[in-house]
Structure 1
Amino acid sequence: MSATDDLVEINQLLAKYAVNMTKGDVEGVMAVFTPDGTYSAFGDAFTLDQFPELVAAAPSGLFMTGTALVDLDGDTATGSQPLCFVDHSTHDMRIGYYNDTYVRTDAGWRLRTRAMTFLRRSGAHDSGIPHSFEPTA
């Protein structure tokens, strides 16, 4: 597989994440991660078993992402992807970017980690308000 093929596959994986988040398809979102994958925000890292509850607690809306900047290194990669989230009921926006790690698996490229950084009006970049989400388990 060429580097171009890898980049196309990773960007399609990230498109699947954004489209499935927009549609509220939690299983589709979980499918883009490795079984040990994590999502980080609010000062914590959440495992796949926490995703259904995490997604249910989040506002619904449009996850509009830009093309990811990806650095390939054999069967692993790192990258960053800009995000503009628009709440469906208020049209309020949240902007920021994801910092990711990827790994090539037997099923193709998958996200191993995804960490959200929010861009604030003050110019600050942060991962959100600690403990704004508390899993029940």
Structure 2
Amino acid sequence: MGHADDELAIRSLAAAYTDAVNRRDGEGMAAVYAPDGILEAPSAGSPVQGIEKLAKRFKRLVEEEREFLMQLTHSGVVEIDGDRATARWWFSEIKRPTGKGFEYILGTYQDEVVRLKSGWRFARRTVAAPFRWKLPSDGISTQDLPQFLALTGLPST
């Protein structure tokens, strides 16, 4: 696999995670990690390590803790060094924690990525979301979402 192929595979890995987030697929969110992969979100407490614990955490997030979650991954940089790489991705997110109002977030993922027999996987993702705004609830309705958002698990029109 050449350098360009490796970079494309790592970019696809980040895209697969975001796709799983938006489909509300906790198992899919965990599947992009190495078996002993780590998610570190300092604002959310202790790091979570291991694919089983990650899957459990992500399933709880999308099934119980978020009524709505839509994430967009923006620009990213990837630096490859043999079978290891680092990457940084900027993201935005609109979420509605269960029982609360909508929030808009801007943040980054700082990634350590490793090549396994199964392909590139996240060895460690550190997420920081320093920019957060509560959105006004007036005029926001999940009942008016287009059909394609049915993938998120929300009722569509």
Instruction: Tell whether the structures are fold-level matches, with TM greater than 0.5.
Output: yes
Equivalence map 1:4-83=2 (5 Å) = 4-41=4-41, 42-47=44-49, 48-55=51-58, 56-57=60-61, 58-59=65-66, 60-83=68-91
Flag the structure with larger Rg: 2
Structure 1: which amino acid aligns with 2:77? Answer: L
Equivalence map 1:104-119=2 (5 Å) = 104-119=115-130
- Taking the aligned partners of 1:93 and 1:10, their CA distance within structure 2 comes to 26
Alignment: residue pair count: 121
Q: Alignment partner of 1:85: what SS?
A: strand
Which structure has more helix as a fraction of its residues? Answer: 2
Q: Alignment partner of 1:44: what SS?
A: coil
Question: Retained in 2: the 8 A contact 1:86–1:94?
Answer: yes
Query: Which runs of 5 or more structure 1 residues have no equivalent in the other structure?
Result: 122-137
Q: Percent identity?
A: 28
Question: Retained in 2: the 8 A contact 1:62–1:88?
Answer: no
Which is worse superposed, 21-30 or 44-53? 44-53
Task: Kindly state the Cα deviation for residue 52 of structure 1 after the two structures are TM-superposed.
Answer: 3.7
> Per-residue displacement from partner, 1:49-80 (whole Å, max 9, x unpaired)?
32244322342411100132111100000111
Q: Alignment partner of 2:75: what SS?
A: coil
Structure 2: which amino acid aligns with 1:50? Answer: K
- Taking the aligned partners of 2:103 and 2:79, their CA distance within structure 1 comes to 32
- Taking the aligned partners of 1:120 and 1:53, their CA distance within structure 2 comes to 27
Runs of 4+ in 1 over 6 A off after TM superposition: none
Query: Which runs of 5 or more structure 2 residues have no equivalent in the other structure?
Result: 133-157
**Larger RCO: Structure 1 or Structure 2 (Cα < 8 Å, ≥ 6 residues apart)?**
1
- Taking the aligned partners of 1:73 and 1:110, their CA distance within structure 2 comes to 14
